Chain A
Amino acid sequence: MEYLWIIPFSPLIAFIILGLFGYKFFREPLAGIIAVGAVALSAVVSVIGFIKVASTGEHYVLKLFTWMPLGDYEISVSILWDPLSALMTCVVTVISTFIFLFAVGYMRNEPSYPRFFAYLSLFVFFMLMLTLSDNLVQLFFGWEGVGLASYLLIGFYHHKNSAADAAFESFITNRVGDWLFLTGLILAFVTFGTLDYIDIFNQLPEVGYWTITIIALLLFGGAVGKSAQVGLHIWLPNAMEGPTPVSALIHAATMVAAGVYMVARLMPIFSASDIALDTVLFVGVASAFIAATMGLVQNDIKRIIAYSTMSQLGYMFAAEGLGLFSEGMFHLASHAVFKALLFLAAGSVLIGIHHILNVQKMGQLRRYMPITAVTFLIGALALAGIPPFAGFFSKDPIIEGAYEISKLAWFFLWFGAALTAFYIFRLYFLAFENSDRLDPHIKEHVKESPWTMTVPLVVLAVGAVFLGFFKDFFGNFLKPSLDPQHITFLKEDVRIFVEEGLSRAHHVHMAEDAWHFMTHSLSSPLGLLLLFTAVAGIFFAWIMYQIRLIDPSKIARDFKPLYLLLYNRWYFDFVYYSIFVYGYYRFSKILWWIGDKFIIDGIVDGSGKVSLATGGGVRLIQTGRISAYVMQMAVGIMIFLGIFLLFK
C-alpha cells in the first residue's frame, strides 16, 4: 500500500510547480492541464486503493515520516487507509477531477489563470491531508490548510471589495470553530497522552464521561465552523463571491463536509457521550431546517444552492447524531455528487448569461442550454429526494431513522425536506422555465457551454442517477469503519463500549439493499408521506413559479414579517454584525481613546513635555556670566557643606 503517498503529494507537487513557474512557463491552458493531471492521478490511485480496501475490509496505517516529537509522543505524517477515509478520499479526488476539468473551461481568459489552479491544487492537498490523517494534529493541519485555501479562493477576485470581505468573514468565522477544535485537541492530548485515533479509541473506556463529553463538544465546535452549521454558518452564503468552481468544490462537495467526516472519523469518541450525540443531532436538525427556510426567499442563484448545502450538511450531522453514521457518510457522498452537479450547472448558466446572479432576471434558459438544464434538473430531483435518484437513497433513511429515534428531530427534518424540494424547484422554474425575463442584449449571446464544462455535468448527472443503487455496497463497505461489531482496530471492550453508546440506533432497521429499500419505502406510510411531501414541494413551486397560479409577491406581502425574517436570514447576520463587527469596532474605538490616546500617548507625550518644561526652566540659570556661575557654585558648596556638617 506504499503507493498511497501519491494521493496527497501529487496535488502538492502541482501546486509547487504552478506556484513557482505558473506565470512564467505555464499559461493557459497548460496550468489547468497540469492541475487536472495531478488530481486525476490522485483520483486513480485512490480508486485503486478503494478497490483494494473494498475487497479486503482491512485498515492500513502508513507512517510516512515523523513531523515532530511531543514528549513521549511523536506526531507523524501518516496515512490511515480504511473504508471511511478511502470513501472520503475518493469523493474528494474524483469530484475534484471533474471540477478541475470544468474550471479549465470556466476560467478561460482569466488573467490569473495559473494562480487559480495553484490554489485549487493546494486546497486538494490540504483536504487529502485531512482525510488521510491518522492523528488529530495532521487532521488539524489539513483543517487549517483548507481554511487557508478557502480564504485564498473566496478572495480570488481580491480587487473586488465584496470578495475580500467575504474571504475575511469566512476566515474569521472559521477561526472561532478552529479555536474550539484546538482546545479540544489539547484536552484530548492531556487526557489520552496520544493523538493517534486508534490509541485514543482504545483508551476510551478508561476515561471519565464528562471529559469525553467536553472533548467531543469542543471538537464538534470546530465542525460547526467548518461545516457552516447554525451559529457559525454566516460565512457560507457570502463565500459564493469566489469563482463558481470554487463554490462547487469547496463550499458544496468537499471542504464543508470535513466536519461531517471528522465526526464520523471520531465516531467512538462521540458515541461515548450521549450529550455530544444529542448536540450533534440538534445542531444538525436546526441547521437543516433554518437553512432550508432561508433558501426559500433568496434571489441569488448561488446563494440558494449554498443554503441548500448548509441544510444538507445539517441532515448529515443529524444522521450522525442519531447514530446512523454510515447513512450520514452515504449522504455525504451522494450530496457531493449532486451538489457539485448543481453548482457546476449554475456556473455553466453564469458563463452563458454573463454572470447575472439574480434568478428573477433569468428564464427560459432550457431553450438555449439544454444539457445544462437537464443535468440541473437531475441534480434538483436528487436533492429533492425523488426516487430513484441518489438523494432519495441517502436522505430518506435519515428522515425515516429520525422517526424511530426522535419525533421532534423527525418533524423538522421532514418539514425541511418539503422546503428543500420547494426552493430547488423554485430555482429551476425561475431559471430554466417560466417566462422569458432575460435581457435581450444578453439573449443574443446565450449558448451551451463548451465540452470541458458539459462533460463533467453529464458524468456527475449519471452519478446522481445511479449512485443511489450502490446503497448496500456503501453500507457494507463502511462497516469496518463505522459499525462497532466490525471495527478491527478496536479492542473487544471498546467495541462493546461503543456499541452501547450507539444503542439509540439499535432498533432502526432499514433494508440495506437499494431495491428492497425502495420498495419498502414506497409501500410504507412513512415513505409515502416523504415522497408526497417532496412532490408537494415541487408541485407548489410549479404552481407559484411556472404557471403563476399563486402570485409569490402577494404571499410575501401577506406574510410580511415572516418573509422579512427569512429574507434577512433570521437576522443572524444583522445580530452578528451589530455585536461582533460594529460592537467590536466601538469597543476598539473606546480602547483607542482610553488606552492609546490617553495612557500611551499620555506617557510618551508627557515625558516629552516634562523634558521641555524642565529644560526651559533650567535654561534660565545659564546666563553666560562668570560671576553667576561662581555664585551658583558657592551656593552649592555651602549647601553641601551645611548638609555635611548637620548630618555628620
Chain B
Amino acid sequence: MVPYEYYVVLSGLLMVLGLIGIIIRKNLIAMLLSTELMLNAVNIAFVAFDMKLYDVSGQVFVFFILTIAAAEAAVGLGLIMAIYRLRKDVDVNTLTELKL
C-alpha cells in the first residue's frame, strides 16, 4: 500500500503547478484550468488524510468540491465567453479594468 505522504506530496505538487499556472499564464481559459488543477489537488489531499485518519468526512467533502468545481467551471466559462464577446480577446495583460 502506498503511504499517504506520497499522496500529500502529489497534492502539493499539483497545487503549486496550479498556482504557477494562474500566475504565469496569460490566457483566461488556461487560468481556469489551473484553478481546476488546484481544486483537485485539494481533493487528493482530503482523500489522503482521510485514509490516514480512518474517517469518511473527507471523502464526503470531495463530492462537495467536485460539485462546486463543476459549477465554477460553468460560471467561469460563461464569464470568459462574455469577456470574449465584449473584447474579442481573453488575454489578462490587456484586462486591467481593476486598475483605476
Least Cβ–Cβ distance between A525 and chain B, in angstroms: 104
A619-642 interface with B by 8 A CB criterion: 622-627, 629-631, 634
The reply on B60 being an interface residue by CB < 8 A is: no
Q: Kindly state the separation between the CA atoms of A629 and B92 in the bound complex, as whole angstroms.
A: 12
Task: Determine which of A622, A626, A631, A634 lies in contact with B92 in the assembled complex, contact meaning CB atoms within 8 Å.
Answer: A626
In the complex the two chains form, is B19's CB within 8 Å of A634's CB?
A: yes
Within B1-26, the residues touching A (CB, 8 Å) are 19, 22-26
B95, A626: Cβ atoms closer than 8 Å: yes
B57 at the interface (CB under 8 A from A): no
- The chain A residue with its CB closest to the CB of B19 is A634
Digit string of B22-64 for contact with A (CB within 8 Å is 1, else 0)?
A: 1111100001000000000000000000000000000000000
B22 and A624 contacting across the interface, CB-CB below 8 Å: no
CB of A622 within 8 A of CB of B99, answer: yes
How many chain A residues sit at the interface, stated as a range, is: 10 to 19
Cβ–Cβ < 8 Å partners of A631 in chain B = 23
Question: CB-CB contacts of A611-623 with B at 8 A, as 1s and 0s?
Answer: 0000000000011
Q: Is A625 a contact partner of B93 (Cβ separation < 8 A)?
A: yes
Complex alpha-carbon distance, A237 and B74, angstroms:
97
> Which residues from A are CB-within-8-Å of B25?
627
- Residues 166-199 (chain A) with a chain B CB within 8 angstroms: none
Report B43 CB to chain A, min CB distance, Å. Answer: 19
B99 near A627 with CB under 8 A, answer no
CB pair A627–B92 under 8 Å, yes or no, is yes
B11 to chain A, nearest CB (A): 15
A622 to chain B, nearest CB (A): 6
A624:B23 contact, CB within 8 angstroms: no
B98 close to chain A: CB less than 8 A: yes
In angstroms, Cα B91 to Cα A627, docked, is 11
- Cα A629 to Cα B99 in complex, Å, equals 11
A635 to nearest B CB, angstroms?
A: 10
**Contact A634:B99 (CB < 8 A) given known A625-B92, A625-B93, A626-B92:** no
The reply to whether A624 and B19 form a contact with Cβ atoms under 8 Å apart is no
Interface string of B73-100 (1 = CB under 8 A from A): 0000000000000000000110111110
**Nearest residue in A to B28 (C-beta to C-beta)?**
A626
Residue contact B23 to A627, C-beta cutoff 8 Å: yes
Q: Which residue of B lies closest to A624 (CB)?
A: B99
Contact status A627-B22, CB under 8 Å: yes
Once bound together, how far apart are the Cα atoms of A580 and B96, in whole Å? 67
Q: Are B96 and A634 in contact (CB under 8 A)?
A: no
In Å, the complex CA distance between A634 and B95 comes to 20
Chain B hits for A622, CB < 8 A: 99
Q: Is the CB of B96 within 8 A of A623?
A: yes
Given the known A-B contacts A630-B19, A634-B19, are A624 and B98 also in contact in the complex, defined by CB atoms under 8 Å?
yes
Q: Which residue of B lies closest to A634 (CB)?
A: B19
Across the interface, which residues of A come within 8 angstroms of B97, CB to CB? 624
In the complex, residue of chain A having the shortest beta-carbon distance to the beta carbon of B20: A634
Chain B residue nearest to A632 (CB atoms) is B23
Q: Give the CA-CA distance A634 to B38 in the complex, in Å.
A: 13
| Chain A residues whose CB sits within 8 angstroms of the CB of B98 once the complex forms | 624, 626, 629
The residues of A that contact B95 with a CB separation of less than 8 Å are: 626
B14–chain A nearest beta-carbon distance, Å: 15
- Min CB gap B63→A, angstroms: 26
B93 touches A634 (CB 8 A): no
> A96 vs B95: C-alpha distance in the bound complex, in angstroms?
91
- CB pair B99 A623 closer than 8 Å: yes
B45 CB to closest chain A CB (Å) equals 15
- Considering the complex, which residues of chain A in the window 44-85 have a beta carbon less than 8 Å from any beta carbon of chain B? none
Interchain residue pairs A-B with the least CB separation, the first 10: A624-B99, A624-B96, A624-B98, A627-B23, A631-B23, A630-B22, A626-B92, A630-B23, A634-B19, A622-B99
Given contact pairs A625-B92, A626-B31, A626-B98, a sample of 11 additional A-B residue pairs in the complex whose CB atoms are under 8 Å apart? A622-B99, A623-B99, A624-B97, A624-B99, A626-B92, A626-B95, A627-B22, A627-B26, A630-B22, A631-B23, A634-B23
Query: What is A's interface to B at a CB cutoff of 8 Å?
Result: 622-627, 629-631, 634
Q: What are 11 pairs between A and B in contact, CB < 8 Å? A: A622-B99, A624-B96, A624-B98, A625-B93, A625-B96, A626-B31, A626-B92, A626-B98, A630-B19, A630-B23, A631-B23
